Amino acid sequence: MAIAFTEILAARKRIAGRVLRTPMRRSPELERIGGVSVLLKCEHHQTTGSFKLRGATNAVLSLSEEEHSRGVVTFSTGNHGRALSHAAIAAGTRAVVCMSALVPDNKVAAIRALGADIRIVGKSQDEAERAASELEKAEGLRRVSPMDDAAVIAGQGTLGMEVMEDAPELETVLVPLSGGGLISGVALAVKTLSPKTRIIGVGSKSCPAMAASLQAGHPVEVPEEPSLADSLGGGIGLENRHTFEMTKRYVDECVLVGEDDIAAAIRFAYEAEGEVIEGAAAVGIAALLGGLVKPAGPAAIILTGRNIAPDLHRRIVNGETPKP
Ligand SMILES: *Cc1c(COP(=O)(O)O)cnc(C)c1O
């Protein structure tokens, strides 16, 4: 089920004033390497440290009174849990967040600090998802998927609108890709405003669920390896409702990057750009640095989040590719 552009417009009105409009800025160093103009959408400066606040805020503000009185439940690799907790608590409703043991401690601590109810379950995002579904039934909580939810996708689409408003001339937009909530919303917005602009999804080789599903022609499950791009963990769900079809329809190409590429891109962002970004946010830069994507015209890269543990970041900047 595809969502409509009008839902992104409605989301933008709903979340205005509750999320930041993040800056876009040029990267002279990437322009030299890529031979085209390159803009960085600095969404890692967003409140809560990632774009997830857009979709989460739209979902919380779309609850019925009845749902609002009971609260929301989700499963998360960390950033969506933090965003949903922030949005729920700001709106005065309860948030329960199920996370697997793969979620880094810094992310769990940030969610706890917001006052959410935390459940650590299992060793994969898929196990956390099952726990959330059980709580949805047992406690009547509204389940807000980090990616396969119409309100979440519409909220993430507001990011695509900002990108095209700031740079209508873009030929290519590189978007980090896991479950596809971000790319579905962004691609719908970008293709509506500029049908010729190409959308490239960049995923992690450690968790290529969407790429494998597109290849198979239907949603499939893949084994999940720990990755420096921890926020790209998790599948797309065998019962996927929105993001598989939307990604198939709107995304021009998907590429996958490895752990060394991600580490190099985190290092590059820090040294050349002075930006602290987490692994999942680094995949677009990694694809450009590694020559996997060669834009023919002006390109934008979405930097999606900054929630990396400081000691891990320090090791990467010092030249390591740590095993997560
Ligand atoms: C969630 C997340 C992604 C991937 O978004 P999807 O909607 O699952 O494709 C990318 N980067 C960061 C920082 C994230 O938190």
Q: pLDDT tens digits, residue range 126-185?
A: 889 999 999 999 999 999 999 999 999 999 999 999 999 999 999 999 999 999 999 999
DSSP of 239-290, one letter per residue? T--SHHHHHHHH--EEEEE-HHHHHHHHHHHHHHH-----GGGGHHHHHHHT
- Of the candidate CATH numbers 2.102.10.10, 1.25.10.10, 3.20.20.450, 3.40.50.1100, the domain formed by 5-50+149-317 belongs to 3.40.50.1100
The number of the ligand 1 atom at minimal distance from the alpha carbon of 280 is 11
CB 128 within 8 A of CB 100: yes
Q: pLDDT tens digits, residue range 238-273?
A: 999 999 999 999 999 999 999 999 999 999 999 999
207 lines ligand 1 (CB under 6 A): no
In the chain, ranges of CATH 3.40.50.1100 domains: 5-50+149-317, 53-143
Question: pTM for the full model?
Answer: 0.96
Pocket test for ligand 1, best of 74, 79, 126 (most atoms within 8 A of CB): 79
Pocket test for ligand 1, best of 50, 244, 246 (most atoms within 8 A of CB): 50
Distance from the alpha carbon of residue 50 to the mean position of ligand 1, in angstroms: 8
Q: Does domain 53-143 have CATH number 1.10.10.60?
A: no
Distance from the alpha carbon of residue 32 to the mean position of ligand 1, in angstroms: 28
Q: Single out the residue of 220, 205, 206, 215 nearest to residue 292, CA to CA.
A: 205
**In terms of C-beta density within 10 A (0-12 exposed, 13-18 middle, 19 or more buried), how is residue 137 classed?**
exposed
Distance from the alpha carbon of residue 180 to the mean position of ligand 1, in angstroms: 8
